[in-house]
């Protein structure tokens, strides 16, 4: 009897233990480990991310610069993939079996149970043929996504581009972005990412075992709608932007144009440029790799990243500071003997021109180096030669007020500060007290260590156009239906020079265009005030520089043009600037008395020989050897015939339409 009861307790204990184990396992599956719930739900519920349309970007006149077009990503849930015809699958997607294996392995590493991108950005045409066979490929489903398209293929560095998020970006986003998502990488796309991207939505679909949709889950109770990104209205004028890019074709340099009364950027040209459509679609990676290897660096945003010596374009600024500090007056006369003596240094005017007695306006019109060397020494030596640090820093602080040596806080990433050295910079090189004004005299004419971005050069012209102040330059003027007027863009930034001193400087700048170095670029019916610059570059040909604003009264545009290693400012930069100014102000380009025309400048090729890396040079040598070997037989056959062929005329470098004239030469 006792043994019977003992066995009963043992059997009951076994059943109880079994039930406890079962309950514990159920608890673990349903509460602790979410894999099974996730897998079960994904067997019947498919969550479809609804990617919003990224906000379009328009120019100041409402012309579309960038918009969206639909493409399709093919998603995969590895756990649901079963045997199917992989050969036909690869054929439909245009990939090989090796590519298929790599993609599926990557998806499994990410998660066997979660959806991830298998193949990106199928066009609507390619997706249409794939969709008909979709039910044959279990575990795969489509995901619609908008991508960028650029109707004019212009303003690439301004707009920037979008790219797939990386692991660090995903981590920094706090989980907002997932693998396969896209984000603004450069330009306005990056600066305004949060307003352009919109808000993603989710749709929950019921599917059967063949991955065929059977309707919405819970009648859409758990769905959320996608919210499109906001529209951006930029300050750019695409008419002059496209003209600028055409004029700078096959040249290295930059154009920046600003509306002085608002600080809005009208043109933002970086050359060489690229077609932004190349960075969209399935060939994006290959195209990007080629662009990164391009020796002319098309991804380099020259308007805000390239640094150039201002050259003679700096001289009006020097004059303004000197008048404000009482070092000179508009009537101050300097007798130019063709050089300026500073200590034991003799600084020549351009090619030893002797200008004779020149006043301030005449010195600007003639671009007399000696006059502005004199001005610079008066400024930095005003506290005595032994207090050079004090005088120099006072000069530097006045220059910095014009926006040099610091960022202008443009609403775009990667803006450079330029270089406006402090006295401590020279103390480190020459030791404190070991340098004088003669040591740094070249700064007075925009050379030496002084470096500026094209944006900074254009901003200086906006200051002069406004007679003493500027608004911080910016690229976007409206978000959605609201005008973007950030407080910092509405504040006048005064440079500390009284408006009365601008008249003689502007008078000299008008003479530069009326009958001075830029006379060949004079615009009929428009008074343009400008300054040519031939900025010296060590071991290279001079940069052609021109800065200007127009018209003289109530200016509508301020501009800076830099054409690298092309010679004098009057021959290349000034004509290019004049075409853009006239196009913006009148909508057309008139016939000039000098005979210059835009077509000549558009077709001229001034690209310098590319600077090749060591690897590129080795590859070039190998290619040359292979080509020589392959052509050896052909050369023998053609040798006799070549003697009978007419000789080709030698190829020459294009010269400017205007005759070469020095920065200090008048008609």
- pLDDT level of residue 258 (50, 70, 90 thresholds): very high
Task: With CA atoms as reference, report the closest residue to 379 among 437, 448, 419.
Answer: 437
Contacts of 77 (CB under 8 A, 6+ apart): 42, 112, 113, 114, 115, 139
- pLDDT of 113 > 70? The answer is yes
User: What pLDDT shows up at residue 642?
Assistant: 53
Q: What pLDDT score does 635 carry?
A: 53
Ramachandran region, residue 365 (left: φ > 0; alpha: ψ -120 to 50; beta: rest): alpha
pLDDT at 415 over 80: yes
Cβ contacts of residue 348 below 8 Å, gap of 6+? Answer: 338, 339, 369
Buried b (16+ CB within 10 A) or exposed e, 580-590: bbbbbbeeebe
CA 203 to chain centre: 37
What pLDDT was estimated at residue 386?
A: 83
pLDDT digits (tens, 9 = 90+) for 147-159: 899 999 999 999 9
Residue 630 predicted with pLDDT over 60: no
Mean pLDDT for the stretch of residues 350-356: 75
State residue 36's pLDDT score.
55
Give the residues across from 73 on adjacent strands: 143
Q: Which residue has the higher pLDDT, 608 or 66?
A: 66
Q: Which tens digits make up the pLDDT trace of 588-625?
A: 999 998 999 999 999 999 998 886 666 665 655 665 55
Would the pLDDT of 645 be above 50? no
- 47-234: CATH architecture: Alpha-Beta Complex (3.90)
Beta bridge partners of 202: 49, 224
User: What is the spatial distance between Cα 125 and Cα 437, in angstroms, rounded to a whole number?
Assistant: 70
In angstroms, the CA 552 to CA 558 distance is: 10
Q: What percent of the chain has pLDDT over 70?
A: 87
| pLDDT above 70 (res 662) | no
Stated pTM of the model: 0.83
Q: Are 76 and 171 spatial neighbours (Cβ–Cβ below 8 Å)?
A: no
Q: What is the pLDDT of residue 466?
A: 97
| Stretch among 75-79, 518-522, 524-528, 569-573 having the lowest mean pLDDT | 75-79
How confident is the model at residue 667, as a pLDDT?
40
Task: Summarize pLDDT for 174-223 with one digit per residue, the tens.
Answer: 878 887 788 999 999 999 999 999 888 888 877 765 555 667 777 777 78
Q: DSSP secondary-structure letter at 199?
A: B
Contact 213, 206 (CB under 8 A): yes
Whether residue 587 is predicted with pLDDT greater than 50 in this model: the reply is yes
Q: What is the maximum span of the chain, computed from C-alpha positions, in angstroms?
A: 137
Go through the chain and tell me how many residues it has. 667
DSSP string across 354-383: --EEE-HHHHHHHT-HHHHHHHHHHHHTTT
Cα R_g (the chain), whole angstroms: 34
Q: Does the pLDDT value for residue 570 go beyond 50?
A: yes
> For residue 67, with 0-12 CB atoms within 10 Å meaning exposed, 13-18 middle and 19 or more buried, which class applies?
middle
| Burial bucket for residue 125 (CB in 10 Å: 0-12, 13-18, 19+) | exposed
Please state, for a pLDDT cut of 90, what percent of the chain lies above it.
Answer: 52
What digits encode the pLDDT tens for the residues 460-495? Answer: 999 999 999 999 999 999 898 777 668 888 899 999
Backbone angles phi, psi at 268, to 5 degrees: -145, 80
Q: Where are the beta strands (DSSP E) in 193-317?
A: 201-207, 213-216, 232-234, 253-259, 264-271
Residue 574 to residue 272: CA distance in whole angstroms = 19
Strand blocks (E) in 472-573 = 476-479, 482-483, 493-494, 529-537, 540-550, 557-563
CATH superfamily, region 238-603: DD-peptidase/beta-lactamase superfamily (3.40.710.10)
The better pLDDT of the pair 266, 47 is held by 266
Instruction: With a cut of 60, say whether residue 571 has pLDDT above it.
Output: yes
Answer whether the bond into residue 272 is a cis peptide, omega within 30°: yes
Mean pLDDT of the chain: 86
Q: Which of 362, 356, 353, 372 minimizes the C-alpha distance to 331? A: 362
pLDDT band at 666 (very low <50, low <70, confident <90, very high): very low
Which range among 17-26, 246-255, 281-290 has the greatest average pLDDT?
246-255
Work out the average pLDDT over 563-583: 95
Residue 422, pLDDT > 50, answer yes
DSSP 3-state assignment of 625?
helix
From CA 372, how far away is CA 319, in angstroms rounded? 7
Question: Looking at the predicted structure, is the pLDDT value of residue 665 above 50?
Answer: no
């Amino acid at each position: 009897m006792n043994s019977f009861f003992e066995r009963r307790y043992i059997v009951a204990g076994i059943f109880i233990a079994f039930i406890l184990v079962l309950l514990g396992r159920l608890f673990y599956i349903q509460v602790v480990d979410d894999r099974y719930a996730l897998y079960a739900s994904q067997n019947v519920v498919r969550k479809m991310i609804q990617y919003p349309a990224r906000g379009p970007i328009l120019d100041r006149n409402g012309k579309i610069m960038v918009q969206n077009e639909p493409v399709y990503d093919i998603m995969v849930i590895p756990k649901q993939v079963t045997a199917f015809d992989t050969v036909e699958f690869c054929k439909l997607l245009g990939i090989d079996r090796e590519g298929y294996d790599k993609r599926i392995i990557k998806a499994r590493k990410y998660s066997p149970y979660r959806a991830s991108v298998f193949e990106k950005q199928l066009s609507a045409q390619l997706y249409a043929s794939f969709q008909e066979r979709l039910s044959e490929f279990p575990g795969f489903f489509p995901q619609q996504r908008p991508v960028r398209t650029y109707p004019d293929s212009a303003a690439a560095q301004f707009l920037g581009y979008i790219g797939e998020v990386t692991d660090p970006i995903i981590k920094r986003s706090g989980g907002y972005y997932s693998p396969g998502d896209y984000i603004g990488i450069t330009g306005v796309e990056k600066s305004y990412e949060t307003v352009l991207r919109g808000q993603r939505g989710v749709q929950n679909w019921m599917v059967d075992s063949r991955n065929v949709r059977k309707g919405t889950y819970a009648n859409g109770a758990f769905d959320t709608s996608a919210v499109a990104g906001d529209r951006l209205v930029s300050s750019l004028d695409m008419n002059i932007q496209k003209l600028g890019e055409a004029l700078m074709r096959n040249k290295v340099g930059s154009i920046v144009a600003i509306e002085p009364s608002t600080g809005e950027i009208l043109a933002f040209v970086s050359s060489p440029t690229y077609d932004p459509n190349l960075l969209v679609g399935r060939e994006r990676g290959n195209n990007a790799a080629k662009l990164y290897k391009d020796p002319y660096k098309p991804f380099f945003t020259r308007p805000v990243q390239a640094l150039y010596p201002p050259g003679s374009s700096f001289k009006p600024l020097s004059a303004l500071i000197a008048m404000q500090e009482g070092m000179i007056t508009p009537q101050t006369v300097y007798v130019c003997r063709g050089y300026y003596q500073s200590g034991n240094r003799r600084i020549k005017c351009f090619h030893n021109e002797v200008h004779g007695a020149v006043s301030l306006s005449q010195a600007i019109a003639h671009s007399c180096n000696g006059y502005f060397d004199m001005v610079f020494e008066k400024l930095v030596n005003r506290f005595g030669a032994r207090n050079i640090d004090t005088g120099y820093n006072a000069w530097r602080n006045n220059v910095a007020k014009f926006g040099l040596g610091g960022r202008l806080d443009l609403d775009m990433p990667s803006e450079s500060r330029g270089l406006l050295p402090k006295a401590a910079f020279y103390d480190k090189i020459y030791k404190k007290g070991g340098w004088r004004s003669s040591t740094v005299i070249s700064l007075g004419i925009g050379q030496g260590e002084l470096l500026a971005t094209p944006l900074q050069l254009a901003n200086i012209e906006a200051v002069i156009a406004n007679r003493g102040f500027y608004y911080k330059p910016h690229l976007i003027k409206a978000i959605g239906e609201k005008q973007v007027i950030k407080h910092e863009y509405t504040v006048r930034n005064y440079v500390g020079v009284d408006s009365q001193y601008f008249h003689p400087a502007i008078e000299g700048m008008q003479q530069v265009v009326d009958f001075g170095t830029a006379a060949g670029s004079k615009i009929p019916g428009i008074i343009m005030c400008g300054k040519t610059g031939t900025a010296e570059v060590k071991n290279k040909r001079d940069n052609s520089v021109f800065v200007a604003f127009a018209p003289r009264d109530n200016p509508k545009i301020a501009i800076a043009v830099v054409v690298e290693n092309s010679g004098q400012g009057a021959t290349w930069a000034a004509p290019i600037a004049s075409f853009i100014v006239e196009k913006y102000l009148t909508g057309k380009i008139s016939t000039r008395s000098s005979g210059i025309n835009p077509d000549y400048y558009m077709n001229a090729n001034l690209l310098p020989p590319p600077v090749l890396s060591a690897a590129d040079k080795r590859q070039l040598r190998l290619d040359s050897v292979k080509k020589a070997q392959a052509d050896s037989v052909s050369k023998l056959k053609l040798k006799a015939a070549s003697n009978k062929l007419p000789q080709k005329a030698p190829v020459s470098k294009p010269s400017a339409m205007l005759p070469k004239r020095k920065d200090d030469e008048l008609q």
